[in-house]
Structure formats: C-alpha cells, structure tokens
Structure 1
Amino acid sequence: MGKVSKATITTSCRLRAADAAAASDKRAIKLPSSSTMSPSAAAGNATATASRIISVLPSATEILCLLPGFDKLLVGRSHECDYPRTIRDRPILTGQKTTFTTSADVDRQVSEALSQGSSLYTLDIPQIQQLKPDMILTQDICDVCAIDLQTVQRVAKGMKPSPTVLTLNPASLRDVLVNIVEVGDAVGASKEARAIFEDLVRRVKAAEQWSLANVKQRPNVAFIEWVDPIFYGGHWTPELIELAGGYHPLNTILKSSTDSLPASHWVKQPVPTVPVRTITRGDCAATSTYATDYTKSYRIQPTTLVATHPEILLIAPCGLDIDTTKRELRLLLDRADAWWWQLNPRPKRVILMNGNHHFNRPGPRLVDALEFVQALLHRPDLLPRFASKEYTDKDGVGFPYEELDLGYWFDKANFVGKAPKQP
C-alpha cells in the first residue's frame, strides 16, 4: 500500500465477506498439511510449490517474505507492495486510475467509479505474461483495496500454463494469521510458516491474558480509518483494540466497557488446525477459515461519533502516513462545522498512526499493532520499545506515531479559515 495509491482507493472501505468455499475442479492439486522445502526444492515440487510468484496484495507480499528465502521467488508486485524494502526492485504490475487530492475528494472519486462499475486499477497484462508466473497471490475481500479477483482470474486462465491463483480473504486477526500457514503450504514452506504462526498466536494470547488479568475499566476508543467522511474501524481493527484492553463501542462484541471478551476468544482457544485445502490451477482458492464477530468498516455520521463520547481517538487513515494525515486534519479543521469541533467533551488523547503500513494492512505486523495499542492504553512503560531498534531494524520503517497537543489542536483560532492550500 503506497501512501497515495492506497488512500486513493480505500476511503470508502467497501469490504464484503468472501465465500468460504475453495474453488475446485478436475485440475485440482492437493496441498500437504506439512512439509519442509527450501526455495530451490519448492521450485521443483509440482504438487504444492511455486518458483515464480507474483503478488498483487501487499499483505501477501509481506507473508511470503517472512518465509526464509522465499522473497527471491517474487518476480512481480503491485504498486502498493512496498515492504520489505528488498522487493522494491521487482517489476510493478498494477496502477491506479484515481488521483489523491483530499480525503473528501477521494471519497467522491471512488463512489463515482464504483457506481459506474469502473475498475479502480490497471493491470499490466503483457508484462505478467512475460514474467510467466506459476502462482499469483491476490484477494477478494475489498472492492476498492486491490485489483479485482475476476480480472486476475481471467488473466491467469488465458496463460499457458495457467498459474495458480491463491486469494486471501481475512475477516479477523485469526484469519490473517491463518493466511500465513496457507501461503506457507502453497509454496512448500509449511514448517516455517507454522512456526511463525504459532509465535504470533503466542504473542496475541499473551496480550489478551494481560488484559484479562489487569484491565477492569476499558477506555472508550474510536478508531478512525478516514477523516472526511468518517469511517469507523472494522474487521480486525476493533478486535485489536479490545484484545489490548480497550472498548470500541460502535463495533464491539462487548456488552460494556467493564466487560471481558468471551471465553471462546483467544486465551482459551487452542492453536487452530489448518485443514488441507484444494488449490486449483488457473482458478481461485478462496480462504475464509474463521468468521469474525465484528463488522466491516463503515461510514458514520458525525453525530453518531459525538454521541459515544470517545476518550481516545486513534486516527490511521488507510494508506496515509502521519504527515499526510496531519495535512488532511488541517483541511478538515478549516471548517467551523467539522465533526472535530463537535466533540464534547473533547477526547483525552488523540494519536496519529501510520495507516499505510499498520492496522489497515492485514499482515503479520497486526500483532505489532496489537502490542502497541496495549502499551498506549495501559502499559506506557512499554512505549519506548516502539521507537527502539526492536521495531526499526527490520526494514527501517519502525512503528511511527504522534500524540497531538490537544490544547493546540482543539483551538479553533489555530485552524478555522487557515487551511493549507489543496494540491
């Protein structure tokens, strides 16, 4: 997800649940439940591996690159696949048709394109054909987040031989982590993928266990995925907040801010067994192993947000870095009737975060985001970790955030009528 490209097409966040069934036909290939192969060995295994992989989904790219050595098999990527840095030299195969101007204008562009049935992306079909992939990683959960699945399938079916199309459709944090195992199985790195999966599950359970043991009163948190208009956090985002010990009232499975997550959630659940699945060459293998108890992200009216009296605003617009988010806030605050000025009482804290790399991208770094939110809400002694080498030496991205000075940001004299020039 590039800063501009992701923001350009994600403002409406029109997510939809994907069908759980995996496609299959007489060409289906059975994937083994576990095996260990090096990339070179994987390349020669016709039953479960690939030697030339294209990813048009940033989170899938991150998952593939978590598997030791498998980043070398990536031969093409989307314009949004920017992590880790080592893959930025691979050919870019997608592009965007919209242009990022302002949050409100992007929402208009996306709405108009979708109402006309227009695609929001371009796909470089000749280059894909030249690259001759034997596997393409994509998604079918979000109508505006990436190139549509039907286009990818059509291209794959037109190639000889047809590459496998593996589509990842996570609706929850557990789905996201299971996707790691599914990608690992597909490329012949089952053992490595399961080890990564189990470590991430351990960290999630540790965070929830801490919340269960220590949090009696959950702070009221509003996660804002877009500022103009307001889109409220959905899918895995409210789950992260409530696992961390927060309360996300407009998208929650809790009865109140003093409630605990049900016993069926993470702490008392065993590590799930990921079943052997069927992947079809030239077609789609759709994955949605677990249902989510939370809803998708959705647009809300300012009065709805104001009525919840949020104590903490977490703002991470999809695809925007912190500097761009601050610029968008200034444009919003230029209006005397903006929802920001209606918050009464004003929040106790407002934190801006990187909506491009964290929270909105359904990959393994969601667990970092969970630990960050828990530190932010309840464990301030752990916050220095997120500015430490532990979080910055992986790829130089780190875990940036900025807490706003409320005295300044809630003073109308600093903003109304003083918006920066629009691009």
Structure 2
Amino acid sequence: DETREMGDGPRVLSLLSASTEIVHRLGASHLLVGRSHGCDDPPLATALPIATAPRVDPNAPSAEIDAVVRAQAVAGGPIYRIHSAMVKDLRPDIIITQEQCRICAVTPDDVKAACAGLPPAKMVVIKPVTLEDVFGDVGAIAMAIGIAERGERLVQHMRQRMDYVALQSKSVASTAHAPKVAHVEWLAPVMGSGYWIAECVQRAGCTMIHGEAGGHSPVLPSFSALSDADLLIVAPCGFSIERTRLELAAVLSNPEWLALPAVKAGRIFIADGNKYFNRSSCGVVETAEMTAEMAWTQLVGLWGHHGKHWVRLSELDAFCNRVDASPPTKRVDVAKDLEASPDSEPNGLANVSEGAGVHR
C-alpha cells in the first residue's frame, strides 16, 4: 500500500553514508530521523540531525589522517563519537551501521556502547566486501524497513545497468588485452584498492592491479609500484575532486610520479572518491560507468560523468577553479572527547540483523 509506505513506518537512524543513500533510493527518505556526519547524498539528507562526530579531522593532510588513525587503532577505543542524548531524542526504531571497517564509519560496538540504557532499537548491520554484498545490503535494508519488494526492484535495476556497462565495454574493447587499471585509494601512504571496486573495474572491461575483488586495499611501497598500470584513477576515500587536487599538489613534481608510464601517456584521471568508488551504495553502478568512460575513448561522455564526477588530470585546474566549484574542505565538527556511557545499564539494542555480512 503506497499510502502506508509514505505514512507510518519505523523511525530510522542511518549512521553510514551508503545506507542513507540506499534508504533514499528506496523511496523511504520520510523514515529517516537522523544521520551520521558523513551522510551527504542526496543533498536533502543533510537537513537531518547529525548524530555522530569524527575524532580525526577529515580536513587534515592525508599523511596526518593516516598517522592519527593508526595511533588510535593501536590505542583502541572508537574513532567516532555518537551523541547519545541526540539518539535518545530521535527515538529510532532501527539503527543502520556497518562492520566492514572501523576506520570508515561507526561500528556496532560503538553503537552498543553509546546507546546502552536507551530504549531498544533494532540494529541492521551491513558488511559490504563484494558487489553481491552491496546488492544484498539494498535488499536487507529494504526488508528491515518493510519494503522488500522495492528493494528487489532497485537491485534488479542496478544489475541491468551493470550488465549494460559490461555490454558497451565489450563492444569497444581491444582484442589485445584488457587495460590494467590502478585505483589509488589513498595518497600518503600510497594505497591500492579492491573490494567491490575491483568488480566495477571488471564490468568496465578492465583488469584491476594492486587490488582484487573482495580483497583489502594494499599499501604500496611507493608511486613506482604503479608503473605497470595503463591508467590511474585517483579517487581517495572520502575525497572530492577538489580535495584531491590539494593532496596532489605535493605529488605532481615527485620524480617517481613523473616517471610513471600512465603519467607520460596522459592517462591519469581524478574522480570523486567520496560519493563513488569507495562508497558501497547504489553509486557502485556509476563507479562502473565512470571507469568505462575513462578506460575507453569511444565511451567518454556516454553516461554523462565526464566533467561532473571525473576529469582528466589536464582538466583538474579548470574544474577546481570554476566559479561554482565546491570548497576542498568539509564542514564538520570534530569531537574533542568521548561521551561517557554507563557500563552497568542494560544494552538498548535488540534483534541485531546482518545484511551483506551473511555473504562474506
């Protein structure tokens, strides 16, 4: 019943950018009562109350972020702060979080600790590693909020679009070899990729190097390790194109970088690593489309991503210097301390439900 779906329903607190986007794509934005600090798509989502804050400044240089996060990982404790008082006020029936990466977003343990003693809420936990996991997450979230049929329809639509990317890429592919693509997920240290991103690269008729489907992002010894790539996609995790330009300023004069065959051939592409590539949302389809546009000259512009979600390195300055360019930094409040939560009170979470984690 469409009227019921647009009326009463569970109050949903989404603590992951991908899940917030998925809820919107399911036509259930009216169920959202709050979000994480990183939930920025679609723009309407930013009007929701923010229930989390990072303990690491996301606007710091890449090397500094890496160092602080590694130190925090060794010391233990949460990377993010959850505003327990706000969660109490929001009265969520469902809280969506993830356990794929404790560095990337709030984890189930973080939620349990911060929400101890609060009224019970069902926790939906996703753990995307592969493309099938991402599809599974869409279905799991749809089922949890009571619109399973919409989830099935959306997944079918995503699969069809993915198949079209593979079809178009195959139609223009060279019989010699599939282009070797390296996705640079971080710049200091240099990191490769993997997870579902490798499968998006495969759908675009290419082969990922320095990363494999379902695998973790490898740390590379230097930029020289990228010398076997036919093209480089620079899309650091959480970075917009404008932010990546700031980070690249110290890289472009590096002798190792300048010596790369892909650099000499002009096959360097800068993409939005915040909303695409590294985000396990419905945007995985756009990630595959963008990769196909970058890899195959005949497909540039086919899906409308060039000049919008990716640019050539030679176009980077023009893109970032335009009048309506987005600022390179994010507006975010960094947590200064941890919010205490009573250890003795009963846990306020019930009925933990796993999404894509069941596929791992």
Same fold by TM-score, threshold 0.5 exceeded? yes
Equivalent pair of 1:133/1:163 in contact (CA under 8 Å): yes
1:339-395: per-residue Cα shift (whole Å, max 9, x none)? 41342574521000111111111000110111121122125345154259xxxxxxx
d(CA) in 2 for partners of 1:120 and 1:154?
13
d(CA) in 2 for partners of 1:354 and 1:174?
22
What are the residue-to-residue correspondences of 1:255-294 with 2, within 5 Å?
293-294=213-214
Structure-1 residue corresponding to 2:178: 218
Report the number of matched residues: 312
Equivalent residue in structure 1 for 2:110, among 151, 158, 165: 151
d(CA) in 1 for partners of 2:3 and 2:196?
31
Q: Does residue 124 of structure 1 match 2:83?
A: yes
Letter of the 1:404 counterpart: L
d(CA) in 1 for partners of 2:248 and 2:16?
28
For structure 1, which runs of at least 5 residues remain unmatched after alignment? Answer: 1-34, 44-49, 253-292, 389-397, 409-423
d(CA) in 2 for partners of 1:63 and 1:375?
24
Structure-2 residue corresponding to 1:180: 138
1:207-235: per-residue Cα shift (whole Å, max 9, x none)? 22444455322112111011111110110
Structure-2 residue corresponding to 1:57: 16
d(CA) in 1 for partners of 2:36 and 2:30?
16
Letter of the 2:216 counterpart: K
For residue 177 of structure 1, report the CA deviation from its aligned partner. 1.5
For structure 2, which runs of at least 5 residues remain unmatched after alignment? Answer: 318-360
d(CA) in 2 for partners of 1:36 and 1:401?
37
Q: Does residue 375 of structure 1 match 2:258?
A: no
Equivalent pair of 2:289/2:303 in contact (CA under 8 Å): no
Structure-1 residue corresponding to 2:342: none
Structure-2 residue corresponding to 1:357: 275
Structure-2 residue corresponding to 1:332: 251
Structure-1 residue corresponding to 2:46: 88
Equivalent pair of 1:313/1:347 in contact (CA under 8 Å): no
Give secondary structure in 2 for the equivalent of 1:364: coil
Give secondary structure in 1 for the equivalent of 2:208: coil
Equivalent pair of 1:352/1:402 in contact (CA under 8 Å): yes
Letter of the 1:39 counterpart: E
Structure-2 residue corresponding to 1:392: none
d(CA) in 1 for partners of 2:297 and 2:3?
41
d(CA) in 1 for partners of 2:34 and 2:121?
14
Give secondary structure in 2 for the equivalent of 1:179: helix
Pair 1:171–1:37, CA change in 2 (3 A): farther
Structure-1 residue corresponding to 2:61: 102
Structure-1 residue corresponding to 2:333: none
Structure-2 residue corresponding to 1:404: 313
The TM-score normalised by the length of structure 1 is: 0.69
Equivalent pair of 2:84/2:114 in contact (CA under 8 Å): yes
Equivalent pair of 1:78/1:93 in contact (CA under 8 Å): yes
Equivalent pair of 1:37/1:189 in contact (CA under 8 Å): no
Structure-2 residue corresponding to 1:270: none
d(CA) in 2 for partners of 1:176 and 1:366?
8
Give secondary structure in 1 for the equivalent of 2:191: strand
Pair 1:156–1:164, CA change in 2 (3 A): farther
For residue 311 of structure 1, report the CA deviation from its aligned partner. 1.6
Equivalent pair of 1:244/1:371 in contact (CA under 8 Å): yes
d(CA) in 2 for partners of 1:63 and 1:37?
20
Give secondary structure in 1 for the equivalent of 2:101: coil
Equivalent pair of 2:293/2:302 in contact (CA under 8 Å): no
Equivalent pair of 1:53/1:76 in contact (CA under 8 Å): yes
Q: Does residue 231 of structure 1 match 2:150?
A: no
Runs (4+) of structure 1 exceeding 6 A deviation are none
Structure-1 residue corresponding to 2:338: none
d(CA) in 1 for partners of 2:160 and 2:37?
33
Structure-2 residue corresponding to 1:78: 36
For residue 39 of structure 1, report the CA deviation from its aligned partner. 2.6
d(CA) in 1 for partners of 2:240 and 2:223?
27
d(CA) in 1 for partners of 2:152 and 2:296?
30
Pair 1:357–1:385, CA change in 2 (3 A): same
Letter of the 2:304 counterpart: F
Give secondary structure in 2 for the equivalent of 1:332: coil
For residue 155 of structure 1, report the CA deviation from its aligned partner. 4.1
1:309-353: per-residue Cα shift (whole Å, max 9, x none)? 21211000111111221111112345x55x413425745210001
